[in-house]
Amino acid sequence: MKKTIIPVLLSLCFFMSCGACQKVENKNITTGTAIIQNITLTLNKACYSPGETITFTSDKALSGAIHVRYRYLSQIIEDKEITGKTWTWIAPSTDFKGYLAEVYLKNKYTEKIIGSIGIDVSSDWKRFPRYGFLSSFGHMSSDEMKNIISNLCRYHINGLQFYDWHCDHHKPLAGTVENPASSWLNIASRMTYRSTIDGYIAEAKKQNMRSMFYNLCYGALKNAADDGVKEEWYIFSDATHTNKYTLSLSAPFKSSIYLTNPGNEEWLNYMVKRVKEVYDVYGFDGFHIDQVGINGVYDSQGQIVNLPEGFGKFINKMHEAFPDKYNVFNAVAGFGQSNIAASNVDFLYNEVWEKEAYFSDLKTIIDNNTIYSKGKLNTIFAAYMNYNLAENKGTFNTPGVLMTDAVMFAIGGAHLELGEHMLGKEYFPNSNLSMSPLLKQSLISYYDFLVAYQNILRDGGSFNDAQTTCTNTSSTIVQWPPQAGKVISLGKKLSDKQVIHLFNFKNATHLSWRDMDGTQAEPLLVKSMPLKIMTAQTPKKIWAATPDNEGRIYQELDFTSEQGFVSLTLPVLKYWTMIVLEY
């Protein structure tokens, strides 16, 4: 049996928010007297509620036979002609869906995509979290803050972690509720301004991003006794409870950090009062709660402290006290994640370190988180790229970042990596490494892809072994986990779809997502790869999509079907291409 679908001729261009763009073709298309070039598209918000008005902006005025179509996976929702620089669309009524808007030039015989953008229609960010950060709160103008937030909005970042914004760990609010301080020194003796905190929260709210304040669940500074912290609340490194567990810090840090028992009831009540002070003064939407990943500590009675149990108590106490606020808790190297996932946390957050340094470890984390949360919570990876390289000034290694994001996004995660700069270290103000124009441009396309296909990538389903082979000798395809020199296949089964992710490790230098020294090699481009895919059913449609600039964000494929498999030709594979069989 042969099923043929006439492929739509699509070309994809993704764009930098500053207006630079990569050409889809080397020539313009002329209609009438107007020359239509590739355009940069932006949205007015990071995500939308059902029925909300969505405003699109093009950097160039549109005229002539220009259309926009809105696509949910393979289904075209609407197609209409547009003119000018701005237009609107009413978000569909169904909640928690991702869409793709394609702007294209249409004439009698052909069409050309000249711009595209992903759209997240979700009333609550915790369903599909895309987490960014802010780390510098010195004196800033409103334009400076607006530009940073607008740039993050173009990547569809819908939540922001305000890192080290607070005054003291045990007393995060500087001043009092009645008389908040206008400025203060944070833990690193960096000047922080109330006007900047307020300004960022206000700008984030305008673009529908949630603002989360950062703090440890169990941190106290050297002056904590003056603020009511009791000696019996601390944890100790020895059973004789003589040595407080201490994170020793020297100048410019204003104090070392002494750790308390997060499950101690008096400490919990104390912190509820301190957190309430924060919420009474600032418009934060929730609490980003941190730990340091230590174990084997004792309380003031010499008893071993069950820290994971304390983490769960801390989260639940915050939820009980502030039910309308969000809570996120960092599982450092996975420590305590089963307890965290069983608590009133809103999504899962894994800070990933050297014991989980390989691409295969990332999927193991996702698999475990799915078990811990019974499939209800999505995952953010706090994972620092080019860690050794970030010791000095330089540039992120684009192939390392893109391969890591390809794997993270395909397995259902998202990556905490974007803020005022890109992250290379766990100390968020470190900005030694910059992003190249190509990396900025490529990441916009990756985040568009993450949003447009979130209902495939992050909305249920189960991983499976969908046997996929290349029918010539150009590429060897093997099942997950990754191997150097191979194309890797990872299947995922949804109710009416079989998804196959293909990752290009043919030219890989190593198999570590960390790419510590920035040595990961750029993949060799594969074109026109003949494939056979085992399937028990005959698909009604097969399509492919890739966030890579060398390919197309959506393309229907011809295929033949016989004897338990389908045959097709995959147009392109650079880093990552997704194939979808619809039944």
For residue range 249-264, what is the model confidence (pLDDT) as tens digits? 999 999 999 999 999 9
Per-residue pLDDT of the chain (583 residues; tens, 9 = 90+): 333 333 332 333 333 333 333 333 333 433 333 455 799 999 999 999 999 999 999 999 999 899 999 999 999 999 999 999 999 999 999 999 999 999 999 888 889 999 999 999 999 999 999 999 999 999 999 999 999 999 999 999 999 999 999 999 999 999 999 999 999 999 999 999 999 999 999 999 999 999 999 999 999 999 999 999 999 999 999 999 999 999 999 999 999 999 999 999 999 999 999 999 999 999 999 999 999 999 999 999 999 999 999 999 999 999 999 999 999 999 999 999 999 999 999 999 999 999 999 999 999 999 999 999 999 999 999 999 999 999 999 999 999 999 999 999 999 999 999 999 999 999 999 999 999 999 999 999 999 999 999 999 999 999 999 999 999 988 999 999 999 999 999 999 999 999 999 999 999 999 999 999 999 999 999 999 999 999 999 999 999 999 999 999 999 999 999 989 999 999 999 999 999 999 9
CA distance 98 to 454: 6
The token pair at 453 is 């296909």
C-alpha span between 325 and 233 (Å, rounded): 26
Would you state the pLDDT for residue 5? 34
The one-letter amino acid code at 188 reads A
The pLDDT score that the predictor gives to residue 320 is 98
C-alpha closest to that of 450 among 286, 442, 88: 442
Q: Are 18 and 441 in contact (CB under 8 A)?
A: no
Distance of CA 235 to the CA centre of its chain: 34
Residue 545 near residue 580, CB atoms below 8 Å: yes
Question: Is the backbone peptide bond immediately before 92 cis, with ω within 30 degrees of 0?
Answer: no
**Burial environment of residue 77 by CB neighbours within 10 A (0 to 12, 13 to 18, 19 or more):** middle
- Tell me the pTM: 0.93
Question: Residue 3 has what pLDDT?
Answer: 36
Is residue 432 a contact partner of residue 393, using CB atoms and an 8 Å limit? yes
Q: At what angle do helices 398-410 and 437-452 cross, to 10 degrees?
A: 10
Q: What H or E segment, with its residue span, contains residue 57?
A: strand 53-62
Query: How far is the C-alpha of 235 from the C-alpha of 296, rounded, in Å?
Result: 10
pLDDT of residue 109: 84
Question: Across the strands, what pairs with 578?
Answer: 501, 545
Q: What are phi and psi of 557, to 5 degrees?
A: -120, 140
For position 17, what pLDDT does the model report? 33
C-alpha distances in Å from residue 299, one per residue of 242, 260, 310, 552: 10, 8, 12, 58
Q: Are 437 and 17 in contact (CB under 8 A)?
A: no
Sign of CA dihedral 84, 112, 59, 414: positive
Distance in angstroms (rounded) separating the CA atoms of residues 359 and 376: 23
Which of 505, 511, 502 has the alpha carbon at shortest distance from 470? Answer: 502
